[in-house]
Chains A and B, each alone.
Chain A
């Protein structure tokens, strides 16, 4: 059955994401919230997250590009990113943000740049992951709705 297949596929995907550390249990909790029947829920959350994250990353890029780095702001934004990524369950990204925060608290320039690169990478991975999941979920729900109507 297509529906089941899709579900199964999604579950497998999520499972493997867990294994890779991309997602953690926080993600599961978020996913469970969608039970209210809003198929858009996950998409909304994820796009909100992506929006925030991209803003955060842009700010960080800006701060880190300055000749004299304002580490406090870097740290603050890293913290913000950490908060939002932990809310959606982006485990690896959380770790990367922690590293960035650590480096900027200690005002280590090299370390900050490295950590920031990592954050960006992890964000891309996470974003793709979330998008995929959201899309799948939406498809599944739509299919189910269609099937119910039939």
Chain B
């Protein structure tokens, strides 16, 4: 190992290579002091460097301060301040750290949950030292994977000299056969990148002498990435070219390659998940209309008053699979949010999400199809505000959600999307994280009165449900980019994890047993081929909501905006009850001149704060399938797509619970049929920007789409 290191000339910045696994830096999180102390003792016995905290929030803080400070995180599942799974997702998403779950429970379901959320391992209490002695393998494994991804080279030597990753030295010394396998996997990439090798070397040499901090794939960055991928065409997207297109300083080819790898895996996973799920063609028909009610603004009294038309489009929450970006949907998913008429591109960018964001229930992470380009959603802007929100562009919104509730933070999106942000270009204002919880996402959908393109910010509050129900912090993450014109707004959706306590919901929102749908409709970007967007929604139904299905109604935009064709499959999965409802809505949305308002109705959690609230939520994972390009928008179960009036505010709120909106008057329009019509016009998808510019004042509203992210590791 040492020899390799020397040869590689790699600077070991964060790991003591010589003594490894001794000296591995572990962060232990457990609210139970006895267990924590014992864990600490055991870890020290294994000669690791241990840091302990009994608060998940503190752990996050420490990690965010310096990602490179730790090699591994061990976390308890049941913690008062944050659900262990949520922490898991966030960590996987943001930091790409291996996380080991710890619990007194050995339920298969919980273990499964851990795995799907991206945990490297799941240990049972009381912990044995023998088990702890082996946990270093997870660190190596992950680093190896990363380095391979970054390396993008068949040549192991290159890997060694490499990617400038200081950890590469270690990796290169390990399992040569694995290298081979990984290399083979990447053959396709490598062929394209043959010409890049030289440059690779060059870069590597330069980089290898430098310390390389982990790259944070912020929403902005991811958006650029996806745009670049789209532009190049998924098949032809090679890291070098992507890097050039992205034109981001400080980003290396390796970073891009790594990210690309994850992205592809994500897409593949979505694809396969989609294939597995039964497609529900007649989703809308059978769907319980109450489910995806956008207008369930019972709770939003003010909301009613706000929107003239009284229509509310719900935004779909997409769960992001970690590390993968849902992709930009070039087609304008018409998520109609109330009053949102702007077309926006929703782009969900996700960092490495360990698990999809689970708004209410569990969102099955579905990876985006590998060849899926970023999907941009128009019209839907979700701004999720995290405490560590990156800069969000908020313009003062004309509409004012404030009356509704400033603190209507939606904790959407869990994990790791802290860096993703939905910023509405125009007139959006972010509601300050009303919720005291740092992870509350708030979007403040505001629609300028007369703007065609709106970025709708909606606050998506997803309360974290009971740890049991919460599978994945599903938030809708969508990045909405409105490229249409100068009204284009860029929305970065910042997904934050839900915190179980965090979402302050207004009274009416606190309903037990809210079913909600997270429905994200993403339109595939121009680069994508027609393909279905898979939304898999998972509802964690604490209370049985058999019929809580969101109806996805796609309604032609009133504004006549054009919605790009989107084809997506909405899948719902009811995790708790193990019902899998897959509904595929196939809609082809004509992006040109109609506003397709797809209501991704995301009714985030009805009750967020209490862990044990029985909340039925359905989260839709939107997975864009690579063929989505110009594909019809299939709205999975039930998105109610509504056109939102310009001045309506888009608010994605838990209270959007479609269930609730069932009784909403006039909120929900089922224009599914018309949407079908719209959808059936397939328009070729051009580049997002182009398309969007065509849209112009189209009032494409995009409801929030839940983007599913899934960690490639999980």
Binding site for B on A (CB under 8 A): 26, 29-30, 33, 36, 41, 44-45, 48-49, 51-52, 72, 76, 79-80, 82-84, 86-89
Contacts and interface: CB of A to CB of B under 8 A. Distances in A.
A86 B32 contact: no
A51 B33 CA distance: 10
Contacts of B128: 29
Contacts of B33: 48, 51-52, 84
Interface stretch (B37-45, B187-195, B524-532): B37-45
Nearest to B31: A80
Nearest to B104: A83
Given A33-B41, A87-B125, A72 B34 contact: no
A76 B610 CA distance: 13
In the A-B complex, the 7 residue pairs with the smallest Cβ-Cβ separation, listed nearest first, are: A84-B34, A72-B612, A26-B126, A83-B104, A49-B34, A87-B126, A86-B126
A72 B33 CA distance: 21
A11 to B, nearest CB: 21
A52 B37 CA distance: 12
B42 A33 contact: yes
B611 interface: yes
A33 B46 CA distance: 11
B656 to A, nearest CB: 26
21 contacts: A29-B128, A29-B129, A33-B45, A36-B45, A48-B33, A48-B37, A49-B34, A51-B33, A52-B34, A72-B612, A80-B78, A82-B104, A83-B34, A83-B35, A83-B76, A83-B78, A83-B104, A86-B104, A87-B125, A87-B127, A88-B38
A83 B79 CA distance: 12
A128 B20 CA distance: 42
Contact of B34 (A29, A41, A48, A76): A48
A68 B156 CA distance: 65
A49 B37 CA distance: 10
Interface string B287-305: 0000000000000000000
Interface of B: 31-35, 37-38, 41-42, 45, 76, 78, 104-105, 125-129, 610-612
Contact of A79 (B38, B104, B127, B612): B104
Contact of A87 (B35, B78, B612): B35
Determine the main DSSP class of A at the interface with B.
Answer: helix
A80 B37 contact: no
Contacts, number: 59
A45 B34 contact: yes
A29 B126 contact: yes
A80 B41 contact: no
Contacts of B612: 72
Nearest to B466: A72
Contacts of A44: 37
A108 to B, nearest CB: 17
A87 B103 CA distance: 11
A18 B612 CA distance: 37
B554 to A, nearest CB: 39
A122 to B, nearest CB: 16
A83 B34 CA distance: 9
Nearest to B39: A87
Contacts of B76: 83
B53 to A, nearest CB: 16
A84 B35 contact: yes
A67 to B, nearest CB: 19
A76 B126 contact: no
Given A45-B37, A79-B104, A84 B32 contact: yes
A83 B32 contact: yes
B611 to A, nearest CB: 7
A37 to B, nearest CB: 13
A60 to B, nearest CB: 15
Residue from B37, B76, B78, B611 having most chain A Cβ neighbours under 10 A: B37
Contacts of A80: 31-32, 78
Residue from A41, A49, A89 having most chain B Cβ neighbours under 10 A: A49
A36 to B, nearest CB: 8
A45 to B, nearest CB: 7
B295 to A, nearest CB: 32
A124 B611 CA distance: 31
A48 B37 CA distance: 9
Contacts of B125: 83, 86-87
A89 B37 contact: no
Nearest to B30: A83
A52 B45 contact: no
B611 A87 contact: no
Contacts of A26: 126
Contacts of B45: 33, 36
A45 B38 contact: yes
Nearest to A86: B126
A12 B473 CA distance: 51
B34 A88 contact: yes
Nearest to A51: B33
